[in-house]
Amino acid sequence: MKKGMLKKILAITIVGVMGFGLVSCGSKKDKLSTIKDSGKLVVGLSADYAPYEFHILDENGQDQIVGFDVDIAKEIAKDMGVELEIKDMNFENLVAGVSSGKIDLAISGMTPDEERKKSIDFSDIYYTAQHGILVRAEDKDKYKTFEDLKGQKVGAQMGAIQAQIAEEKVPEGDLQLLSNVNDLVLALKGKKIEALVVELPVAEMIVKNNPELKIAEEKVTDTEGGSAVGIQKEQQALLEQVNSTIKRIKEEKLLDKFIIEANELAEKQN
Ligand code: ARG
């Protein structure tokens, strides 16, 4: 073989190898490094869920999103050494947002259920809560259990596991789904629905701010439930990073503090 030919083959091979290297790097580039390089962590949530995440007007009259999930997001960003950007979204779009990479993480009181695990990964559980039924105060004796709501209009957030709970537990019920929990509260007060299923800490906060509502007797404990951070699949480094912050928050008993503060802020609003 001539020398020139050999050189050519060699050059093509090298370019080929480099090209391949680039491609494989591109697809494998882990999200944690991308976040660190960009200096910004984008967290998606549905800010209609006090004390987890909700809107307040700060002392300057500015709209702000706060809550214990936001505090967790801040700690995660701090441990990564990056800025935090919060994206307020409809709850039902969060899983797709994570899997497509539109947001880096979903921190929104999200239960790591089997259906969602098909498209995204989850961190360790950082918080667990029961689910409660909200009813109008005057109906408290009429609607004590799911059975009592037989055939009635029961509301739940679109895309949330409470929709499945209501569907399963209310015999012949008419499930009413809306994207925003605040709209569901209005629907309950306006007698468009007879009950609303949400996580119990949220129900408690809603009752504090809306004394015309009450929490029914029956509660639901789902043993596989709890809240976890939603993360794109196959992002091991990011998953470990998030879990290390969750571990630290638990060890330093920060979560209790965040929850107390979030409750105080949520009560102050109304
Ligand atoms: N835990 C429930 C779920 O994962 C409801 C969460 C709703 N969160 C919210 N920010 N609105 O389906």
Query: Are both 237 and 151 inside the same structural domain?
Result: no
Query: Are both 45 and 112 inside the same structural domain?
Result: yes
- Which residues have C-beta atoms less than 6 Å from ligand 1? 45-46, 48-49, 52-53, 91, 108-111, 157, 160-161, 181, 199
Give the structural domain span for 43: 31-127+225-268
Q: Which of 125, 134, 162 to mutate to test the pocket of ligand 1 (most atoms within 8 A of CB)?
A: 162
In a domain, 24, yes or no: no
Q: Which of 87, 90, 93, 110 to mutate to test the pocket of ligand 1 (most atoms within 8 A of CB)?
A: 110
Of 221, 236, 258, at which residue does a domain stop? 221
- How many domains does the structure of the chain reveal? 2
- Kindly report, residue by residue over 111-169, the tens digit of the pLDDT: 999 999 999 999 999 999 999 999 999 999 999 999 999 999 999 999 999 999 999 99
In a domain, 22, yes or no: no
pTM: 0.89
CA distance 129 to 145: 18
Nearest CA to ligand 1 atom 7: 109
In a domain, 17, yes or no: no
Query: Are both 114 and 146 inside the same structural domain?
Result: no
Question: From ligand 1's centre to the CA of 208, what distance in Å?
Answer: 20
- Kindly report, residue by residue over 158-201, the tens digit of the pLDDT: 999 999 999 999 999 999 999 999 999 999 999 999 999 999 99
Question: From ligand 1's centre to the CA of 160, what distance in Å?
Answer: 5
CATH number at residue 81: 3.40.190.10
CA distance 210 to 186: 10
In a domain, 12, yes or no: no
CA distance 88 to 269: 19
In a domain, 155, yes or no: yes
Half-sphere exposure of 21 (CA within 13 A, CB side): 6
> Does the pLDDT of residue 12 top 80, yes or no?
no
Kindly give, in sequence order, each residue whose CB lies less than 8 Å from that of residue 210, ignoring residues fewer than 6 positions away: 185, 189
Average pLDDT over residues 240-266: 97
Read off φ and ψ for residue 122, nearest 5 degrees: -130, 150
Q: Which amino acid is at 247?
A: K
pLDDT of the residue at 11: 52
